[in-house]
Amino acid sequence: MKLTCTDPRLTRDEINNNYIVSVSAWLNNLEKQKLYELSKSGKALDVEIKVHRNRRSLEANGYLWILCQKLSEKIGGTKEDIYKEAVRKAG
């Protein structure tokens, strides 16, 4: 299950000397049920927290490759070379 959340909070449990991480997230009914079942399973869960990044849509990705193809026809090389050079420059 992958969630996008906001307003993370970090508190310290003085008794157990652990940290408690709390997040807020919008869940639909299916996600809510799945999270409930996972929390009650008693199994350890892997959680990854990182900055949210919007990914390119398939439409935007297709347009990128069309532009790379057109550039490669004008300046030579392959569309893959154009893409790799753009990624390298952008970091």
User: What angle do helix axes 79-90 and 58-75 make, rounded to 10 degrees?
Assistant: 110
Query: Which pLDDT value is given to residue 64?
Result: 92
Spatial distance between the Cα atoms of 89 and 59, rounded to a whole number of angstroms: 23
Helices within the chain (DSSP H only)? 29-40, 58-75, 79-90
Query: Which pLDDT value is given to residue 29?
Result: 92
Q: Which amino acid is at 82?
A: I
Q: CA angle 17-39-35, nearest 5°?
A: 125
Domain definitions of the chain by residue range: 1-53, 58-90
**Range 67-75, long-range pairs (CB < 8 A, 24+ positions):** none
> What is the tens place of the pLDDT at every residue in 2-53?
888 888 899 998 898 899 989 888 889 999 999 999 989 989 988 888 888 8
Is the pLDDT reported for residue 55 higher than 90?
A: no
pTM summary value? 0.45
Is the pLDDT reported for residue 78 higher than 90?
A: yes
